[in-house]
Amino acid sequence: MNPTAAKPVSAPDAPPTAAAATRGATLRGQLGTYLGLAAVLVGMVALFGSLSEYFLTRETFITIANEIPALLVMAVGMTFVLIIAGIDLSVGSVLALSAAITTAAILQWHWPVPAAAALGLFAGLACGAVTGSVSVAWRLPSFIVSLGMLEAVRGGAYLVTNSRTQYVGDAISGLATPWIGGISAAFVIAVVLVAIAQAVLTRTVFGRYVVGIGTNEEAMRLAGIDPRPIRIIVFALTGLLAGLAGLMQSARLEAADPNAGVGIELQVIAAVVIGGTSLMGGRGSVVNTFFGVLIIAVLEAGLAQVGASEPSKRIVTGCVIVVAVIIDTLRQRRAGAV
């Protein structure tokens, strides 16, 4: 070999790959969504602050923070369900059943609080697993299965409580006790769950499978990945989080109400959709869902402080949800046209 032979000249830096360009576009899109939701939230706070002299106070924001943990943890689970192009209408009933079982274990069966709480969480997990398993095994729409579970589980909550509110006192009130600056432990737990869930969704193989199933389930099958266990796990985790929401709510109210959570599944879905998660599956963000929950909470608190009637609050909230869906549809069409 000639030692004086010219050495290969290194090639100039290659242009960014298509994958890198896609990641960059995705990150820019996520940042734009974050900023858009934050702008909406700030605008709402400013609006209600101008309409009510009591809104821009520390007490208002602490109250909002301490009231949203149950809604927030359920919305985290619903985000994953919607990303796989499913839906779970039973979360409100699961919340009530979990709280009822926990309270019954403490008051009637004299279980220690940790064991009673674990039983309530397991009940939520089991309900979600049943919903997912039936939907997958029989290839039924999760809408129909979860609608049936909504009624069945609500009936279970009535049976456990004898159709009466069960007062548990301060046995599990620690979750709702003011902790840091008046913020409850439940709120801190909910925010930590948001961070963990976002990391799971964006940084793990499981998260990629969830997005892949919602985007193109058949392609996942052809790639050798069975989507069935993943779907069941997603519904089971959603049930578990609904059970945790039941503990949080009963800790705040110091009671288990068999009517708790009636209609809350609509608020949960609304918060997730406002956060930009697609109802068609394949796209969503837990952080965006957090913004959606805050928007719902600020809207309700602001309307209450300006003296809006209950029908008016429902009309305004419904219009906000419709506008959010329209904006999401326009965003998808624009992305498809690029």
pLDDT at 333 > cutoff 90: no
Q: List, for residues 37-64, the tens digit of each pLDDT value.
A: 899 899 999 999 999 999 999 999 999 9
pLDDT at 12 > cutoff 70: no
pLDDT at 328 > cutoff 80: no
Task: Quote the pLDDT of residue 317.
Answer: 81
Collapsing DSSP to helix, strand or coil, 10 comes out as: coil
Closest CA to 90 of 281, 265, 271, 258: 265
Beta bridge partners of 183: 180
Interior CA angle at 254 toward 253 and 259, to 5°? Answer: 60
**Cα–Cα distances in Å, from 141 out to 19, 87, 137, 238, 265?**
34, 9, 11, 17, 17
pTM: 0.90
Integer Cα distance of 114 and 226 in angstroms: 36
Integer Cα distance of 92 and 263 in angstroms: 7
Task: Quote the pLDDT of residue 2.
Answer: 47
Q: What integer is the mean pLDDT of 212-231?
A: 96
Q: List, for residues 164-201, the tens digit of each pLDDT value.
A: 999 998 888 888 888 888 999 999 999 999 999 999 99
What percentage of the chain has pLDDT greater than the value 90? 73
Q: List, for residues 84-127, the tens digit of each pLDDT value.
A: 999 999 999 999 999 999 999 999 999 999 999 999 999 999 99
Task: Quote the pLDDT of residue 21.
Answer: 59
The residue with tokens 């106070």 is 57
Instruction: Assign 4 a pLDDT band (cuts: 50, 70, 90).
Output: very low
Domains (range + CATH), the chain: 53-337 (1.10.3470)
205 or 11: which leads in pLDDT: 205
The most distant pair of C-alpha atoms in the chain lies apart, rounded to whole Å, by 94
Collapsing DSSP to helix, strand or coil, 201 comes out as: helix
What are all long-range contacts of 30-37, with beta carbons under 8 Å and residues at least 24 apart? 30/285, 33/276, 33/285, 33/288, 34/287, 34/288, 34/291, 37/274, 37/275, 37/276, 37/288, 37/291, 37/292, 37/295
Q: What integer is the mean pLDDT of 150-177?
A: 93
Q: For the ranges 60-69, 77-86, 170-179, 258-267, which has the lowest average pLDDT?
A: 170-179
Closest CA to 98 of 79, 76, 74, 132: 74
Mean pLDDT estimate for the chain:
90
What single-letter amino acid sits at 87?
A: I
pLDDT at 16 > cutoff 90: no
DSSP 279: T
**CB-count exposure of residue 91 (10 Å: 0-12, 13-18, 19+):** buried
Integer Cα distance of 75 and 293 in angstroms: 8
Q: List, for residues 314-324, the tens digit of each pLDDT value.
A: 898 888 878 87
Instruction: Assign 24 a pLDDT band (cuts: 50, 70, 90).
Output: low
174: its two tokens: 């620690």
| C-beta of residue 139 within 8 angstroms of C-beta of residue 229 | no
Task: Quote the pLDDT of residue 95.
Answer: 98
| C-beta of residue 82 within 8 angstroms of C-beta of residue 278 | yes
